[in-house]
Amino acid sequence: MSHAFDAASAAADAGRPPETTRLPGVLGSIDRAVRGLNHAIMLLGGVALVCACLVLSYSVVVRYVLHQPTDWQDEMAVFLIVGATFFSAAAVQSKRGHVAIEALTGLLSPGVNRARLLMADAISFVFVTFFAWKSWSLFHEAWVDGQVSQSSWGPPLWIPYALMAAGMSLLGLQLLLQIAEAVLHGPKAAGFDKPKIGVGADVNADMHGRPDVTPKGPDVMGPRS
């Protein structure tokens, strides 16, 4: 079964106050700061996506209705979408909302599943760290060399590279915190047992967390004495 991030459910969840951290000391302070940052990023990400839609709509009107050339709308929309996507990755990870293939969950014991999930987080952390390092390298090259895109608008390329690098760095920090939670406080603290956001969570809540409200049909047998 796969769970995907649902924007509408995430927006509703973003309005809730951040959960109390389970980590004490310095890690707890970092965890609280990351939760607050993720909360703000989710709101800004929604604004960025709305702005991207408005920019693309404006481009269509100007290009096909007013018959005027455009040179900045497409790249501006791409920058907004890239920023919203990469920056919100950590917030989605905090809710375990990324796509997860769970074909083996029912075949393995709870202990093996906990080890499998921890190993998946560790492998993801290694990959995301490498991704962030390469993104920061590209950002540095674009900044030093003054690289710009090949369009007539020619925006600096350090902007999308910076968005990618910062988003992946935040995602790596989120994964590291969840690994620490799993090691220090068990799988519940790491969010392994939290329902995914989106359609999958709604269906799961209907099946397990809500009372059966199925309406009863008429008694076809008639009244009983």
| Helix residue spans in 17-72 (DSSP H) | 25-60
pLDDT at residue 84, as a whole number: 92
Residue 205 has pLDDT above 60, yes or no: no
Residue 4 has pLDDT above 60, yes or no: no
- Give the burial string for 140-174 (b: 16+ CB within 10 Å, else e): eebeeeeeeeeeeeeeebbbbbbbbbbbbbbbbbb
> What are the backbone angles phi and psi of residue 148, rounded to the nearest 5°?
-130, 165
Considering 2-11, 64-73, 201-210, the range whose residues carry the highest mean pLDDT is 64-73
Residue 197 has pLDDT above 50, yes or no: no
Alpha-carbon distance 59 to 52, whole Å?
A: 11
| Coil, strand or helix at 108 | coil
pLDDT digits (tens, 9 = 90+) for 50-94: 999 999 999 889 888 888 877 788 889 999 999 999 989 998 888
pLDDT at residue 130, as a whole number: 96
- CA neighbor of 138 nearest in space, from 160, 168, 153, 155: 160
Place of tokens 């703000």: 40
Alpha-carbon distance 19 to 172, whole Å?
A: 20
CB 165 within 8 A of CB 132: yes
pLDDT above 90 coverage of the chain, percent: 28
pLDDT at residue 24, as a whole number: 62
pLDDT digits (tens, 9 = 90+) for 156-168: 999 999 999 999 9
Over residues 198-222, the mean pLDDT reads: 43
User: Treating both helix axes as pointing N-terminal to C-terminal, what angle do 158-185 and 73-87 enclose, rounded to 10 degrees?
Assistant: 10
120 pLDDT tier (thresholds 50, 70, 90): confident
The CA–CA distances, whole Å, from 191 to 44, 78, 92, 96, 128 equal 24, 32, 12, 7, 19
What string of H, E and C letters represents the secondary structure of 69-105? Answer: CCCCHHHHHHHHHHHHHHHCHHHHHHCCCCCCCCCCH
Q: Count the alpha carbons within 13 Å of 80 in the hemisphere toward its beta carbon.
A: 19
The CA–CA distances, whole Å, from 181 to 22, 187, 211 equal 8, 8, 32
What residues contact residue 63 under an 8 Å CB cut-off, 6+ apart? 69, 70
Please state, rounded to an integer, the average pLDDT across all residues of the chain.
Answer: 75
pLDDT at residue 186, as a whole number: 61
CB 153 within 8 A of CB 71: yes
Alpha-carbon distance 111 to 102, whole Å?
A: 15
Residue 17 has pLDDT above 50, yes or no: no
DSSP state of 107: G
Residue 174 has pLDDT above 50, yes or no: yes
Residues making up the chain, counted from first to last = 225
